[in-house]
Amino acid sequence: MKQHKLPHKIFFSGIGGIGMSGLALILKKRGYDVFGSDAVSGNMTEKLLKMDIPVIIGQKKGNIDTAELLVISAAIKDDNPEIIEAKEKGIEIITRSELLGILMSEKKGIAIAGTHGKTTTSSMLSLVLEGAKMDPTVVIGGEVKNIGGNAKDGKGEYLVAEACEYERAFLDLHPFAAIITNIEEDHLDTYGDLEHILESFMQFVSQIENDGFLVISAWDSHLSEVTKNYQGKVITYGFHEGDFQAKNIKVKELHTYFDVEKYGKVIGELKIAIPGAHNILNALAVTATSLEVGVKFETIEKSLTKFMGAKRRFEIKGNKNGILVIDDYAHHPTEIQATLDGLESYYPGKKVWCVFQAHQYSRTKFLLLDFAKSFKKTDHVIIPEIYEARDSEEDKKAVSGEILAAEINKISNNAEYIKDFHSITEFLRQKAKSGDVIITIGAGPIYKVGEEFLK
């Protein structure tokens, strides 16, 4: 880390991103002079403007003006005019993850890492610590209804944050404690293969403070490899193995109920309003972590009962003519399958129209066959063109939405390629009937299909 004392005037390049905006809001509340830019306007830039944070749309020379520090997101490349200007003026440049590391060094950081489930787990833990009157600082990669957004500047000793592995950003963090939910092949444009992913997680684990602890899924075989040299306290969780286990699982009236067993003894029952086995595991991780930092089980129980989920994580968007519309951020094959399993448990027997937009040509190319196997539990899959993000021309030539739909049909014969959102919306208006469920899935703007349908 280049510095720990931040200057007063801080410019964020890419301020409209979910992670960047959260840090900007926290620093604004702390009295810093915060401003920034983004390529396009959106909901988050509008929110920042309402918080008296100036936002320039369009990134060009002259934007950074009198800034004393430039913070850049992972999407900002070296040829960005704001980076060029900062270098010319001798203005220091740090990444978003470096800034998060600075803020974490001032608190007891609890970092939530893993391929899937980071946002939901971070959100749950933040709510529990709030319920325990611990007033945590929170930086989350999604908007959480219970805390009113994606960030909160608390006065308590803990800082809860997602630890993103993309570009090895989480190696800028040295947390007091960490949760690792799972590890799978993802961000292969950064890592190349699973071996390099595991090496990066090993480094992350080694950076946990000596008096801290690590909470990991007992189900994930990769985690035993990652933690084999870790000398600190490890707490595990799972269904049939682990220090904490979920037992007697029941789904009733759109809620999931289960007993929590700690070291073989039932300590109470939890109730959550979001479906799926993966969310039971997320709640177990939060329970183990919360108890370790001194929260009573009764507080955990009350807090998780109130948890309404994060935006774009199995978010119910509305109901039109008896047709339920749901949106989910899942963008990896494992996440898609978990979301569809949860949907089936909450709405058994319903006809499901799944609209999936793949995120990144490179990810789709690497995981094409895994994506193709993900839709066996849905009636109809509609595939638009892939959402481009950090993709090369070579990636874009190698795969397409049409190719993905064809691969799905080889396995489950339930997919249809419809290139644009407007045509998908019209298709659903003609085909979906009362009692059906429409679910939009993907990390890009696919949620707009559901919103347009509801209009």
Q: Point out the residues that are catalytic.
A: 118-119, 162
The total number of residues written for the chain in this structure: 455
Three-class DSSP category at 421: helix
Reduced to 3 states, what is the DSSP secondary structure of residue 179? strand
Residue written as token pair 């991780």: 285
Nearest-angstrom CA–CA distance, 250 and 242: 20
Report the C-alpha dihedral over residues 186, 189, 194, 197, rounded to 10 degrees: -80
**What one-character-per-residue DSSP string does 313-348 give?**
SSEEEEEETTEEEEEE---SHHHHHHHHHHHHHHST
Report the distance separating Cα 29 and Cα 15, nearest Å: 16
The residues, any chain, with a CB within 8 Å of residue 136's CB and separated by 6 or more, are: 126, 129, 130, 152, 154, 156, 158, 159, 160
Cα 13 from Cα 16, distance rounded (Å)? 9
Return the amino acid letter for 376. K
DSSP state string for 426-452: HHHHHH--TT-EEEEE-SSTTHHHHHH
The strands making up 92-95's β-sheet, listed across from edge to edge, are 55-57, 33-38, 9-13, 69-72, 92-95
Q: What is the DSSP string of 137-150?
A: EEEEEEEEGGGTEE
List the structure tokens of 136. 């945590």
> What are the helix (H) ranges across 13-109?
18-29, 43-50, 81-89, 96-105
Are the C-beta atoms of residues 215 and 114 closer than 8 Å to each other? no
Output the CA–CA distances (angstroms, integers) from residue 225 to 54, 303, 331, in the order listed: 46, 33, 25
Secondary structure of 250-313 as H, E, C letters:
EEECCEEEEEEEECCEEEEEEEECCCCHHHHHHHHHHHHHHHHCCCCHHHHHHHHHHCCCECCC
> Of 7, 191, 35, which is closest to residue 99 (Cα–Cα)?
7
| Strand pairing class (137-144; 92-95) | unpaired
